[in-house]
Chain A
Amino acid sequence: MNWQAIVLSLKLAVCVAGILLAIGMPIAYWVTFSRWRWKFLVEAIVALPLVLPPTVLGYYILVGLGPRHFAGRIWQGWFGHTLPFTFGGLLVASVLYSLPFAVQPISAGYEGVDRRLIEASWTLGASRLATFFRVILPLSAAGAITGIVLSFAHTIGEFGVVLMVGGNIPGVTRTVSIDIYDQVQAANYDAANRTALVLLLFCFLVLTVIYGTNRRALSIWRRG
């Protein structure tokens, strides 16, 4: 069993979920409340990873972040190395690839908050930021939790993007899904089986815990 790959996958998934929570909330806020007439363009871009084959997305990230390209060169100038085939590159690619899985549930959560509560908060003197933290966020916690869970799960399970951007470097970019693929290619069915089982059980455990707490979190808001 490849513990290195399992640890790497978990590390990646935790980082992606954390980053997506941080950037997903402002993006979802903008998508939900903006009245900009071209908003749908941004919504479409955010939703792109849902329909694009991972290889297409991976290809663009690989090329875009590579040393021949503008964004890649800027990165290289700042950090002294290029992104593809590093953990950082994998992280950037995974964040982009899972973006809709975070933004859409969080946005749905915001959408579910009664507009009048937001307006009531304004008339009581709260700024937009205060209204977000005191009204919108507590009332849409379920959406945020769903967003994290989905980002986490989606990152654990991704394969195509990781293969395109990360390659297959043990301890750096070889995640569980790629490791299992490798084992199967090499006909090590026992190893593949063990790794797959550990991954399955772990994911099931995490999801159970999160959905369980999620329900409790929900009932806190309706406490008596």
Chain B
Amino acid sequence: MSLEVAIEKNVAGFRLAVEFAADSAPLGLLGPSGSGKTMTLRAIAGLETPDRGRIALHGRVLFDSEQRINVPARERRIGLLFQNYALFPHLSVAENIAFGLRGLPYAERNRRVAEQLAAAHLDGLAERNPANLSGGEQQRVALARALAIEPAALLLDEPFSALDTHLRGALERQLRKTLASYRGATLFVSHNLEEAYRVCEKLVILVNGSVAAQGPKEEIFRHPPSIEVARVTGCKNFSRARRLSDGRVEALDWGCSLRVAQPFATPPAHVAIRAHHVRVHAGQKSTEENSENAFSCWLAAMTETPFRVTLDLRIGAPPASPADFHVQAEVFKQEWETFRDCPQPWMVELGADRLFLLQD
């Protein structure tokens, strides 16, 4: 069971050129908006025709520019969950789910609709109109409608983006359960990395219309191969880097030299660290000697979320303005309480085993 995609398309100055494969484990397509995620899904569903390439699903060729094969969308048997769900407003919930079951005998059609209604916990809502459903219910109807045709592949285009935050957790759990019992290939498009990480086993990172990284999710998050991928996976702190010796680099933008744990063959172009891996403390007396990669720092600006604070820190000298900072650190509030009233400079630690070295 697999979906193979290798397509190219040029549209008004934007070039999409992607190549990846998915098996029955959900594959996440992750990337910033405008990176070509939705266009890729539409090409697979047959709503967009690539200029060149090949799309095959479980060995069946859906598109091949060389053999001039282009199976129309209606014959591809691919379930597509639209970002805004695209429920038919003039049909009831049950009629929406039955929409793709026209060719089936009446009894079989009813059986499948009932099955989908039950699986999506929509039993009492069969006769409702989509306009009278909550966002979460609409999403479940759209998913039930796509699954009712027993699709060979399921494509989910940002299935949670239209929902209130407090609804997402429960729906995501339900989606993961549904996907676990689904046998076909699943593609999950998202720009939310945590969501993609929870739902998918493997990820494809799209940047500017091409694949910047693909593979098991842990691998990509632990060793992002490039600065773009590091950025997509949520990394916020980057500095140009120069090799000093084996195991040491100079961080040119941060004005400090760092020990690195990761061995490097080719000289790195950038060094990076995730904001929640940056440690900050009042410092001074205790740790300065025995911890490496620790530097004096000053606070340039701060933003608060309910449980955490993000600190913009300048290394080496007091900042000239709130925008004058080197690294962002994300720390829990309890931790922040321990040094917030201590006199500056504080100490910032960029742990050697937390640093990434990135080639361009």
Contacts and interface: CB of A to CB of B under 8 A. Distances in A.
Interface of A: 114, 116-117, 119-127, 130, 134-135, 138-139, 221-224
B82 A222 contact: no
Contacts of A120: 80, 82, 86, 88
A123 B89 contact: no
A175 B38 CA distance: 58
- Which 5 A-B pairs have CB atoms at the shortest separation, nearest pair first? A124-B100, A120-B86, A116-B86, A122-B73, A221-B90
A130 B102 contact: yes
Given A224-B129, A224-B132, A126 B74 contact: yes
A123 B99 contact: no
Contacts of B77: 125
Interface residues of B, number: 28
B102 A123 contact: no
Contact of A221 (B73, B89, B132): B89
A123 B88 contact: no
Given A119-B47, A120-B82, A124-B99, A222 B73 contact: no
Given A116-B82, A116-B84, A224-B132, A122 B74 contact: yes
B76 interface: yes
Given A120-B80, A222-B129, A224-B129, A126 B90 contact: no
A93 B273 CA distance: 77
The secondary structure that dominates the A interface is helix
A124 B149 contact: yes
Interface string B78-97: 11101010101110000000
A127 B74 contact: yes
Contacts, number: 66
B326 interface: no
A121 B145 CA distance: 11
Interface string B113-142: 000000000000000010110000000000
B100 A117 contact: no
23 contacts: A114-B86, A117-B86, A117-B89, A119-B45, A120-B82, A121-B99, A122-B46, A122-B47, A123-B45, A123-B74, A123-B76, A123-B78, A123-B79, A123-B80, A124-B74, A124-B99, A124-B145, A125-B77, A125-B102, A126-B99, A126-B102, A130-B102, A222-B89
Contacts of B88: 117, 120-121, 135
A144 to B, nearest CB: 14
A222 B86 contact: no
Interface centre among A114, A119, A130, A223 (most CB of B within 10 A): A119
A134 B99 CA distance: 9
A87 B129 CA distance: 48
Contacts of A116: 82, 84, 86
A119 B90 contact: no
Contacts of B255: none
